[in-house]
Amino acid sequence: MKSILTALFALTLFGSQLQAADSTPSLLSNGNFESNRKAKDWPDDWPKSKEASWETEGDNHFLRLKVVEPLKMVMVYRPVTLKPEHKRLQLTFRTRYTDVKRGKDSWHDARILLDFKDAEGKKMKSTAKAPYFSGTSKDWREVKVEFDVPEGAKMLEFMPSLFQAQNGVFDLDDIQIVAIAASTTAAAPPPPPVKIQGTGKVPEQLKVNGNQLQTLSGKTVQLQGVNVPSLEWSTKGENVLRSITVAIDDWKANVIRLPVKADRWFGKASDQKDGGKAYRDLVDQAVEAVETRSAYLILDLHHYRAPKEECLAFWRAAAAHYKNRPSVLFGLLNEPHGISWETWRNGGVVEEKAKSAAPTENDEKHSTFTSPGMQKLVDAIRETGANNVLLAGGLDWAYDLSGILKGFALTDKSGNGIVYDTHVYPWKSGWQEKFLNVAEKHPVLLGEVGCDSKPMSFIPAAQHKDPYTWAPNMLGCIQEHKLHWTAWSFHPSATPRVLQDWDYNPTPFWGTFVRSALNGGSFKMIKKY
C-alpha cells in the first residue's frame, strides 16, 4: 500500500556500525518526548514554539510541527554538545508527514537541518546532509543517517523544520543521536555505477490464456518479484535503478512493480521545472534495466479510490509511449476503494468521503468527482494500439476481487488480456472468496503482499499475525495456487519492508522468506485465512 504501507513501529537501530541504545546513550536528551517533569503540557528539554505541539496517540508522545502561515519558517532548535572523541554520529528517528507542499524552491520542505559550530560559534563545513521530506508518508517511517563530525566542532545544531513550506504537518519521534566509530576514510567512496545493460535477451511478450499468463509462443510464466517504490513520492526516486538490478540479478525476481504518479509524469510536482522529462527518462531507464535482464515491469499508476480524468490522460500518454513493449504491463489503478462495483467498472459520481483511519498517503483527499471507471481506462489504452497485458485491482484497497465473478469483469476485445490484482496483508481475511475463486478462472497477481513484526496502527491488535507464521503460509498459498506476486516492498522504510537497509540485507520477518521463495524455496500453506 504507496507510496507507499510504511511502518508504525518502535525505532529499530540497524547497520554495520550500529551501536545499541543502552550501551551508547543518545547525545540528544528526551528524544522520545515522554518526559515532562518540568511542565505538564510540554516535553522536557524541548523549547516551546507556536507552530510546534506535543501530541499524544495512545500511550505514545511525539513532536508535531505545522505550517500555520504559508512560506513561513517553522523550526525547533536543539543544541547538542560535542566532545573531542565524537568523530562520527548516527542520527535515527521516526517521522510521519502529511500534505507537505514545497515552497518557492526545491529545498522548501520538511527537513532536519544539521549545522556544526566551532568554539567561536562559527558555522563549519560538513558532509552532513539534511534529511528532507515532501508529500504524504505512509504512516511512520524510520530514518537513519550517518555523518562525520568536522575537526574542532564543539556543537551540533539540530533543527527540525518546515523550511518555508507552502503547507504541511511534520511529526517526529524516537530521535537519537549517538557517537559511532569513525569512518575509515575521509569520505565514503561513491557507489559503483549502476549497470543498466543486462546479459539476458528481451523477454517475450505475454498474453492471458484462461487463468494463466503465457508468452506469445505458448510458454506458461509465473511472475514473481518485488515492488520498487519511491517514484510515487519522489521525482528523483530512491535507488530505483540499483534496486531493480539487485532484485533481478541477486534476488532472482522476474518482475518489478514500479509505482508512479500522473502528476510527476506530466511534470506538475512542485519540484519539477522540465515538464516531467527527467522523471519519464528515469522510468525509461527502469524499463530498460528490467527488459535487458529478460524480466517484466508493471507500470503501476499509484492512485487511489477510483479513476479520475487525470488517469485517462496518463494512460493515453504512457500506453502510447510503451505500446506493445514486450516487458511492460500496465497496472491501471493502485488501490480502488469506497465505491460500488458498478462505479468501479462503469464510472459514476464519487462522493467526497469522511476521513478514515487508513494510512494518510493511501487516504488521498477527494472532493466529489465523476469517475470514468476502469473499463474506460482499458478502452483508452487499447485505442492507442497498445495490446500490453493490463492489471486491474479490485475494491477494499484492491483486496476484494469477488465482483469479477458477479458480472463486473472488464472487457478486453483487442488486447492481450487482463490480470486481476489483489493486495493481501495479514489483516485481510476471506482469501477464498476475495481472490482464490477468481484465480480459478482468471490470472491473479498479488500486486502487494507482505507482513511486519509490529502491528499497524490502523488495525485492531487482534488482527495482527505473527509474521514468522503468516509469511511462509502466504507464500505456500501463492505456490499452491500458482499465483503471481510482487512483494511490498524492496525499500528499507516503506513497510512491510523486504529490506533492512540499502545494503539490501533482508528483514528477518519478511525479506528472508521473499528471497528464499524467489530463489526456488518451497513453502506449504497450513491455513487459509
Q: Write the pLDDT tens digit of every residue in 224-274.
A: 999 999 999 999 999 999 999 999 999 999 999 999 999 999 999 999 999
Contacts of 198 (CB under 8 A, 6+ apart): 248, 249, 289, 291, 292, 293, 294
Q: What is the pLDDT of residues 31-83, one digit of tens each?
A: 999 999 888 889 999 998 888 999 999 999 999 999 999 999 999 999 999 99
Burial of 193 (0-12, 13-18, 19+ CB in 10 A): exposed
pTM (predicted TM-score):
0.67
- What's the rounded Cα separation, in Å, for the pair 401 and 378? 17
Q: What is the pLDDT of residue 364?
A: 55
In this predicted structure, what is the pLDDT of residue 366?
A: 61
Can you list the domains of the chain with their CATH numbers? 1-193 (2.60.120.260), 218-351+361-518 (3.20.20.80)
Output the CA angle 180-182-185, nearest 5 degrees. 150
| CA–CA dist 243, 241 (Å, integer) | 5
For residue 200, give the nearest of 71, 326, 115, 38 by alpha carbon. Answer: 326
Question: According to the model, what pLDDT value does residue 106 have?
Answer: 65
How far, in Å, are 47, 127, 479 from residue 27 at the CA level?
A: 17, 19, 49
Q: What integer pLDDT is reported at residue 188 of this predicted model?
A: 42
CA atoms within 13 A on the CB side of 148: 14
Grid cell locating 373: 471507471
* Residue 415 contacts residue 391 (beta carbons within 8 Å): no
One-letter identity of residue 264: R
Residue type at 373 in one-letter notation: G
Q: Do 238 and 4 meet the contact criterion of CB atoms below 8 Å apart?
A: no
For residues 137 and 454, give the distance between their C-alpha atoms in angstroms, rounded to a whole number: 18
**pLDDT for 38:** 87
pLDDT of amino acid 13: 30
Peptide bond just before 234 cis, omega within 30 deg: no
Burial group, residue 328, by CB count within 10 angstroms (0-12, 13-18, 19+): buried
Q: State which residues of the chain have pLDDT below 50.
A: 1-22, 184-189, 356-361, 363
Residues whose CB falls within 8 Å of the CB of residue 473, separated by 6 or more in sequence, listed in order: 523, 524, 525, 526, 527
Q: Any bridge partners for residue 521, and if so which?
A: none
CB-CB neighbours of 38 under 10 Å: 9
3-state percent breakdown (helix, strand, coil) of the chain, nearest 5: 20, 25, 55
**Residue 62 β-bridge partners:** 55
**What is the number of residues in the chain?**
529
